[in-house]
Amino acid sequence: MPIRSDGDVVQVRQLIRNRAVEQRFGLVDQTKIVTAASELARNTLEYGGGGTVRVEVLEEKGRVGIRLTFEDQGPGIADVNLALTDGYTSGKGMGLGLGGAKRLTHEFSIDTKPGAGTRVTITRWK
């Protein structure tokens, strides 16, 4: 799904909530994955200049999960550890996006290089 506008960020939230409901995630798990998706979609748009999100429903070893992969071709992140620090922001935000998304999910990975874009993958298990 493309992320090119504020409307796309809203659609990402709706899509993720629908997938979580379909997979019978509880309300707390729904809220956590939707909140993390919202933060990362906003980052993709604002800092990456837009990009995409891929949504996968997982079934593994008797459990169900949702994996989201956000990708952009923006400027990348020069210092990932700093970017994950609460309160750090390279823009006007509160600096809770990446670190907050990491805390709200069970699995989190980030692949980025300055000048080569960013890919963030998160997974929340039921």
The per-residue pLDDT for range 30-47, each reduced to its tens digit, is 999 999 999 999 999 999
CATH number, residue 10? 3.30.565.10
Which residues touch 77 (CB under 8 Å, ≥6 apart)?
83, 110, 112, 114, 118
Nearest to 66 by CA among 36, 96, 90, 88: 36
pLDDT score at 79 = 85
82 — pLDDT class (breaks 50, 70, 90): confident
Q: What is the phi/psi pair of residue 89, to 5°? A: -145, 140
Count of structural domains, the chain: 1
Residue 12 domain boundaries = 2-125
Mean pLDDT of the chain: 91
Nearest to 72 by CA among 100, 95, 99, 43: 43
